[in-house]
Amino acid sequence: MPIRQFQAHRMHAPRDFKAIADEPLCVEIGAGKGKHALLFSREHPNQKLIAVERTREKFLAMQKQHAIEGQQNLEPINADALPWVVHSLFPKQVEQFFILYPNPEPHNPAQRWLNMPFFEFLLSRLKTDGTVTLASNIPSYIDEAEQQLLQVWTLPFVKEKIPATSARTHFEVKYLERGELCQQLVITKPADYQTRFDTFMPLQGQNPSKED
């Protein structure tokens, strides 16, 4: 399906927005209660991870567990991912994006990640040779994303079956225990890849003017 251009300059700043530094980092979108974020930050102490979760209850659960474990390289954020990314992230800043078991949006396919204009902006924040990992237990979701990568985004990727022993998220544990097929696409950004947002700088908490 055709993708219209994302209107980044129209995005309002998240509530209680705090700017971040222009330094290498990883970002998990829809981090839930933080199972993957906590695991990743323990296993990769030299990589900073920002874990973004919109739902307050899930964010508080992640924050509570993070306070117990205390990883210095993990920062939980309670925000909607789209405005947070636009206001916070710099071009080619992110080493890895994780989007693990997102809402499949069965009644609104335009809101699936690789169908959204926002995905182009997300790619502009990704470093050369950086990756986006998209996981799902719904074969049709993965199949559609694969076709979008081939036909719209023209990006290289690897399609992987997630082993039954994997336990990165609470959803992943539940799906694998049921015997469901869980798959992921690991998408790589080539050196020559360009987007319309490659020079767009973060808004740093500014809000759109009325004439916009």
Compute mean pLDDT per 10 residues along the chain, 212 residues long, and list them: 80 89 97 98 98 97 97 97 96 98 95 96 98 98 98 97 97 97 98 96 78 44
d(CA 210, CA 5): 20
pLDDT for position 2: 59
> Which runs of E-coded beta strand occur in the chain?
25-29, 49-53, 74-78, 94-100, 126-136, 157-161, 183-188
Measuring CA to CA, which residue among 132, 141, 136 is closest to residue 182? 136
pTM given for the model: 0.95
| Of 103, 54, 92, residue with least CA distance to 76 | 54
Domain 24-188 architecture: 3-Layer(aba) Sandwich (3.40)
For residue 18, the tally of other CB atoms under 10 A from its CB is 12
Q: What is the pLDDT of residue 37?
A: 98
Residue entry with tokens 């992640």: 62
**pLDDT at 205 (0 to 100):** 80
Measured torsion, CA atoms of residues 76, 77, 83, 89, in degrees rounded to the nearest 10: -50
Q: How much is the pLDDT for 206?
A: 84
Write down the pLDDT at residue 1: 52
CB contact at 8 A, 6 and 74:
no
